[in-house]
Amino acid sequence: MFQTFDVTARPEQGLDRLAALRSQLENEGLDGFLIPRADAHQGEYVAPHDERLSWLTGFTGSAGFCAALHSVAGVFIDGRYRTQVKSQVADVYTPVPWPDVTLGDWLVEQLPQGGTIAYDPWLHSMREIRELNARLKSSQVSLIESDNLVDRIWPDQPAPPMQPAIAHPEEYAGESAQSKAQRLADGLRKGGQSAAVITLPDSIMWLLNIRGSDIPRNPVAHGFAILYDDARVDLFMATQKLAGLDLGAHVTCHAPEHFLDAVQTLDGQVAVDERSLPQAVANVLGDKIASVGDPCALPKARKNTAEIKGSAAAHVRDGAAVVETLAWLDAQAPGTLTEIDVVKTLEGFRSADPALRDISFETISGTGPNGAIMHYRVTEETNATLEDGHLLVLDSGGQYLDGTTDITRTIAIGTPGHEESQAFTRVLQGMIAVSRLRWPEGRSGRELEAIGRLPLWMAGQDFNHGLGHGVGAFLSVHEGPQGLSRLNTVSLEPGMILSNEPGYYREGAFGIRIENLVVVEEAPALDSADADRKMLAWRTLTFAPIDRRLVVPEMLSPGERDWLNSYHAEVNRMIAPRVSAAAAKWLDAACAPL
C-alpha cells in the first residue's frame, strides 16, 4: 500500500498544544497568531513538515486556517468541511463558517478594544495580507510579521522534504522545457515585464518538465523560480533534489537561501500572481510588482495533444482497476466488509499498473453517515462496516506517468432506500446535463456550474462544494485556474481538463457524489443554418459504470436515458477487454441498457 503521513493532533492533544501557543503569545506581547493551511509555496497540499494547522488543531481539510487568540481559537472552514471539523477539533477550537464570516470581521468582533495579531509572511499571500489590512484599517486591530510561533512549540516537526526530482519525458509533456520558457518569455516582453517570480510547485514542474515527490500524492518538488524575458530560468532548489538531472542550458540552479537576494536584484516590472506570492517576497519586490498572474497557469491548463492522449490512456487503465474493484465489491455480502477493506482492494488493483506512481489523493471511502462528510478520510477509529441499505461514496484517483485521474462512484450496499435513490437520480441528472452541454466560447465555470445543480434545486436540495475543479497532467489533482464554481471567472478553453461532480449530502445519514473527468473540445458543427456561434463541448475521459440500482428510471427524460445507455455501452466496449473474465461478466450486466 502507499505510504501515508499523519502529524494530526488528536483531540486530547489540542488543548496542550493551544496552551503552548498561547504561552508564546504572552511572551511576545501578542493578542493572536494566524495559522494557515498553506506553506511557503502556496500550493493546496503541504508536506508533513508544513502541516501546522493539522498538528495544532486536528483539522485535516485541504483548505482552512486558524486564528488563535487568548480567549478563543477559531478554525475557519468552508462548506466542504463543516461536518468534518466537528469531529476533529473537539471543544478546544471554535469552527467558523468561512467565507460567510471573514477573518477581518471576526478579529474585529473578538477584539473590540484592538490588539496585535502576528503572522508568518512566508505563509500568507500578498493579496491575502493586503485585503486583511484593508478590513482592519478602521479598527484598532493591527497585523505584524513574525517568525512562526507554531514551529517554536513543535518539538518533533518532520524535516523539510528532500526527495530527488525526476525528468518528465517530452513524449508525455508534448513540448520541450526550452520551448515553454521561450513561449512564456515572449509573453513577458509583450506585457512589459522583465521577469516573473514563480512559487507554485506545479507551475515550476510544468515549466521545467520535471516531477518530484516532496508532497504526498502530488508529483512536485519544492522550490522557487525566476523566469526572465530572454527565456533564462533561475531555479532555487536544494541540490540533492536535482542530482543527475539535465535541465538544459537555459536553467541555472541555486540554493534556496539565495532566492530573496536574487529577487532583490530584479529590474523593471516583475510578473507575479498576487494570490500565491508570499508576502515575504512581496516585501522585497516593492513597487516592481506587476500583478498579471502566474505566466504558467493558463498554458499549463491548456493541455496539448500529447497530454490529452496520455490522460485518456491513463483513464482507460484506471477504469479497469475501478471495475475490478466494483465487481469484487458486488460479490461480497453486506456486513462483511469495511471502508478500509475497499480502500486496500482498490489500491491493490491500481498498483498492478507499472505506470502508476502514487494515488492522486487519499482515497475517500465513506459509508452511511461517513459518506455525508465530503472529504472523509477513513481511519482505524472511524472505519465503518458496509451495511445493507447503506450507500458507499468511493472517491479516488491515480498519478500515472501519462496522466492524473479522479473518479467518484456512489454504490448501493444491498437494497437502497427510495429517498436515497431519488437523490441519486437528481445528482445523476445534473452530471448528465453538464456532460451533454454545448456552450459559446468565452464562457467561464461560473456561468455553467448551475446547470449541474438544477435538478437538485428543483427539489429544494443543493451541495456545498464546487461542481468541478481543474486537473493536471501527471500533476496536481486540483489544478487552477479553471474550475466549475460560482467564483470562477476563467474562460474555459480547449484542452482544459476538469471534473464534473455534483453531489448531495445529508448529515448523519448518507452522501452521494458522481464524478467523471472531462476535457474541453471544440463542439462538432451542427447541421443547421441557424448556428452562428463557435461552440465548445466536453469529451468524457472517465470510464466506469454508474450504479443502475440507484437510478429511478421514470425520473429520467428520454435524452438522459439515452446518454446513460450510450455511456455505459462505451464503458463496456473500452474496459471489458482489460479486466478479468469475472469482472467482464459483471461489467456486462452493470452496463445493460435501462
Give residue-wise pLDDT tens across range 60-96.
777 788 999 999 988 888 777 666 766 667 678 888 8
Q: Are 414 and 440 in contact (CB under 8 A)?
A: no
CATH fit for domain 11-153, picks 3.40.50.2000, 3.40.350.10, 3.40.50.970, 3.90.980.10: 3.40.350.10
What CATH class is the domain 166-293?
alpha beta
pLDDT at 228 over 90: yes
pLDDT at 43 over 80: no
Q: Are 431 and 560 in contact (CB under 8 A)?
A: no
Q: What is the pLDDT of residues 116-158, one digit of tens each?
A: 999 999 999 999 999 999 999 999 999 999 999 999 999 999 9
Q: Which residues pair with 537 in a beta bridge?
A: 438, 521
Q: What is the mean pLDDT of residues 510-518?
A: 98
pLDDT at 1 over 50: no
Look at strands 289-291 and 503-506 and give their pairing.
Answer: unpaired
In whole angstroms, what separates CA 266 from the centre of its chain? 32
- Cα distance between residue 358 and residue 566, in whole Å: 32
Q: Which pLDDT value is given to residue 527?
A: 76
pLDDT at 545 over 70: yes
In whole angstroms, what separates CA 321 from the centre of its chain? 22
Question: Pick from 361, 320, 319, 369: which is nearest to 343 by CA?
Answer: 361
Residue entry with cell 434545486: 457
Q: Which residues pair with 144 in a beta bridge?
A: 118
C-alpha cell at 145: 510579521
Q: Three-state DSSP class for 286?
A: helix
In the chain, domain spans:
11-153, 166-293, 302-590
Q: What is the pLDDT of residues 6-19, one digit of tens each?
A: 566 565 677 889 99
Report in angstroms the alpha-carbon separations of 358 from 9, 149, 351: 25, 33, 8
Q: What is the pLDDT of residues 553-572, one digit of tens each?
A: 999 999 999 999 999 999 99
In CATH, the number for domain 302-590 is: 3.90.230.10
Do 166-293 and 11-153 have the same topology in CATH?
Answer: yes
Neighbours of 486 (CB within 10 A): 14
- Cα distance between residue 520 and residue 497, in whole Å: 7
Q: Which pLDDT value is given to residue 14?
A: 74
Q: Are 99 and 64 in contact (CB under 8 A)?
A: no
Q: What is the mean pLDDT of residues 449-459?
A: 98
Q: Are 125 and 42 in contact (CB under 8 A)?
A: yes
- Cα distance between residue 43 and residue 430, in whole Å: 30
DSSP 566: H
C-alpha cell at 224: 522557487
Report in angstroms the alpha-carbon separations of 545 from 29, 251, 475: 59, 46, 26
Written as one letter, the residue type at 68 is: A
Phi-psi region of 58 (alpha: psi -120 to 50; beta: other; left: phi over 0): left
Q: What is the pLDDT of residues 269-302, one digit of tens each?
A: 999 999 999 999 999 999 999 999 999 999 999 9
Q: What is the mean pLDDT of residues 47-69?
A: 87
As a whole-number percent, the residues of the chain with pLDDT over 90 amount to 86
- Cα distance between residue 405 and residue 541, in whole Å: 9
As a whole-number percent, the residues of the chain with pLDDT over 70 amount to 96
Residue 509 sits at φ, ψ, to 5 deg, of -130, -70
First to last CA, the chain: 37
- Cα distance between residue 210 and residue 330, in whole Å: 40
- Cα distance between residue 3 and residue 155, in whole Å: 23
DSSP 316: H
pLDDT at 347 over 90: yes
Q: What is the pLDDT of residues 311-329, one digit of tens each?
A: 999 999 999 999 999 999 9
Least confident of 28-32, 161-165, 204-208, 584-588: 161-165
- Cα distance between residue 145 and residue 161, in whole Å: 25
Written in H, E and C, the secondary structure of 33-61 is EEEECCCCCCCCCCCHHHCHHHHHHCCCC
- Cα distance between residue 569 and residue 590, in whole Å: 10
Q: Are 376 and 391 in contact (CB under 8 A)?
A: no
Sign of CA dihedral 372, 317, 537, 202: positive
Look at strands 356-359 and 398-400 and give their pairing.
Answer: antiparallel
Greater model confidence, 522 or 96: 522
- Cα distance between residue 58 and residue 502, in whole Å: 28
- Cα distance between residue 573 and residue 594, in whole Å: 17
pLDDT at 2 over 90: no
* DSSP characters over 345-389: HHHHHHHT-TTEEEESS--EEEEGGGGGSTT----TTT--B--TT
Q: What is the mean pLDDT of residues 500-521?
A: 97
